[in-house]
Copies of this chain bind each other. A is one copy, B any other.
Amino acid sequence: MANAGAERVPSGEIAGRIARFQDRLRLDAIAAALLTHASTLYYFSGTAQQGYLFIPADGAPILFIRRHIVRAREESSLARIVSVSGFPQVAAEIGRSSAEMTRLGIEADVLPTAQYFRIRDQFPGADLTDISIAAREIRMRKSPWEIERIRAAGQQLARMFSQVPRLLAEGQMEQELAALLEYELRAAGHQGFIRMRAAGSEVFFGNVLAGEGGCVRGKWDGPTCGAGPNPAVGVGAGTTRIERDKPVFIDLVGAFGGYVCDQTRVFVLGRLPLPLQEAHSVCMEIQNQIVAAARPGVRVSELFVLARDLARQLGFGPYFMGPDGDQAAFVGHGVGLDLDELPVVTERGRWRLTEGMVIAIEPKMVFPGQGAVGVENTWLITADGIERLTSGTDEVTCVG
């Protein structure tokens, strides 16, 4: 399994992805896209080596590699892979040969400004247009090959979560338990490095939060963030210690063959206070109702409204997705090569569920001074419903 994650992306996958993206470029009247983000390059070429991928609306893509071209040629099935030193010449040719090279798509959300300046200079006649949403939306529907990898990442999580009762101990710091669980994931073949796309977002393995450590707000736009080991990192497991009868909230990310899978479970030494127990049950009920409602054609906004209204109706509105007045505005998000993929399950989300989408659904509640509870699983939208890619009980696990 650990070896299987290192295999090349099949050429049929690459060809299909590029064809779908070219359809989208034509639909949006974009002449070509020039892509540089690591996840994007890997998705469309099979290599994450550094460079620029030029995808015209019609015709064959060209991968310009800064380094390392030998490696890129081994990993990618694209026919035309050239050194980035040839970029100015090819750019000039493209400019001359295409009278329609007016709108050139860039991923403005992740493209560094210095690279934007360079592209602007190379394509003086072009209208540089942000196509980041299109580049992200094309990745929403996963292929069976991609889903297989997300399933494998889910199996890493299953193995890791099964070890929590053995590893968790009173008085442990969040980051001490986190280190043990990160090792379990790595031993199960976890790739280590995880990508997030949103500007300023960074992640290590996720969150391991003890008691009031689950209430620390921060730069993550989610129900929990974690203090992190220090203010320089500012997210994730920190120095809060595990105490009896307080929730140990574990939100970790599996990662296999480039693809991630997201899962949260709550553990406790002893028993949770009654309001937190009830809140956890409400989160499970919210999850179950989302699952009952989810099928192709449903708008993600319907799922968000269903979740939030149920939380309010049962009296848990002030705790839903964060402390009162400071609540995250979503209850789920796509996962894939990045941890923060589309669709995002928000009140205004216009996306409709489609077969092949893979979405983490995470109804959670935060009780100031006490901690966070809730459940998260990663789900696949199927032809007629939804299938769970993560496993294990959703209940709070009481240890000792």
Interface residues of A (CB under 8 A from B): 2-3, 5-9, 36, 38-39, 42, 46-50, 66-68, 70-71, 75, 106, 108-117, 130, 132, 173, 175-176, 178-180, 182-183, 186-187, 189, 191-193, 195, 199-200, 202-205, 216-219, 221, 225, 227-239, 257-259, 337
**Can you list the 6 inter-chain pairs with the closest CB atoms, starting with the nearest?**
A232-B258, A179-B186, A192-B204, A191-B229, A108-B114, A113-B116
Chain B residues whose C-beta falls within 8 Å of the C-beta of A75 in the assembled complex? 231, 234
Q: Is the CB of B50 within 8 A of A219?
A: yes
> Does A191 contact B68, Cβ atoms closer than 8 Å?
no
Of chain B, the residue at the smallest CB distance from A216 is: B71
Q: In the complex the two chains form, is B6's CB within 8 Å of A229's CB?
A: yes
Assuming A112-B110, A200-B38, A257-B230, is B218 touching A67 (CB within 8 A)?
yes
For residue A7, which residues in chain B have a CB less than 8 angstroms away from its CB? 230
Give the Cβ gap from A101 to chain B, nearest Cβ, in Å: 19
Q: Is the CB of B225 within 8 A of A68?
A: yes
Cβ-defined contact, A231 with B67, below 8 A: no
Kindly provide the distance from the CB of A112 to the nearest chain B CB, expressed in whole angstroms.
5
Kindly provide the distance from the CB of A48 to the nearest chain B CB, expressed in whole angstroms.
4
| Residues in B neighbouring A116, C-beta threshold 8 A | 113, 116
Residue of A111, A130, A192, A258 most packed against chain B (CB within 10 A):
A192
Q: Give A284 to B66 CA distance when docked, in angstroms.
A: 31
User: Which chain B positions have C-beta within 8 A of A113?
Assistant: 106, 108-109, 111-113, 115-116, 130
- Looking at the complex, which one of B71, B106, B193, B219 makes contact with A233 (CB distance below 8 Å)? B193
Contact A239 B3 (CB under 8 A): yes
Contact present for B70 and A217 (CB under 8 Å)? yes
Contact pick for A114, options B109, B218, B235, B259, CB 8 Å:
B109
* In the complex, chain B residues whose CB is within 8 Å of the CB of A192: 175, 178, 182, 204-205, 229, 233, 236-237
Which B residues lie within 8 Å of A219 (CB)? 48-50, 66-68, 71
Distance in angstroms from A18 CB to nearest chain B CB is 17
User: Hey, which chain B residues are within 8 Å of A228, CB to CB?
Assistant: 191
With the chains together, A200 CA to B258 CA distance in Å?
16
A148 vs B205: C-alpha distance in the bound complex, in angstroms? 27
Question: Can you give 11 contacting A-B residue pairs, CB < 8 Å?
Answer: A6-B239, A48-B233, A48-B234, A50-B199, A66-B219, A68-B219, A109-B112, A113-B130, A114-B132, A182-B183, A191-B233
A8 CB contacts on chain B under 8 angstroms: 231
Q: A193-B236, A199-B114, A225-B68 are in contact. Are A231 and B186 (CB under 8 A)?
A: no
Copies of this chain, complex-wide, total: 2
**Cα-based distance from A236 to B255 in the complex (angstroms):** 15
Given the complex of chains A and B, what is the CA–CA distance between A49 and B48 in angstroms? 28
Q: Roughly how many angstroms separate A232 CA and B40 CA in the complex, as a whole number?
A: 10
Which partner residue on chain B sits nearest A205 by CB separation?
B192
Query: Which chain B residue has the least Cβ–Cβ distance from A232?
Result: B258
- A376 and B9 alpha carbons, distance in the complex (Å): 35
- Please state if B230 and A258 are interface contacts (CB–CB under 8 Å): yes
Q: Given contacts A113-B106, A179-B186, A231-B8, are A50 and B2 in contact (CB under 8 A)?
A: no
- What's the Cα separation between A257 and B106 when bound, in Å? 36
CB neighbours (8 Å) of A176 from chain B are 187
Q: How far is the CA of A179 from the CA of B193 in the complex (A)?
A: 12
A5 → chain B closest CB, angstroms:
5
Interface centre among A112, A183, A205, A227 (most CB of B within 10 A): A112
Query: Which one, B36, B47, B70, B175, contacts A186 given CB within 8 A?
Result: B175
Name the distance in Å between A299's Cβ and chain B's nearest Cβ: 26
Residues of B within 8 A of A225 (CB): 68
Nearest CB on B from A46, distance (A)? 6
Contact pick for A36, options B3, B183, B200, B203, CB 8 Å: B200
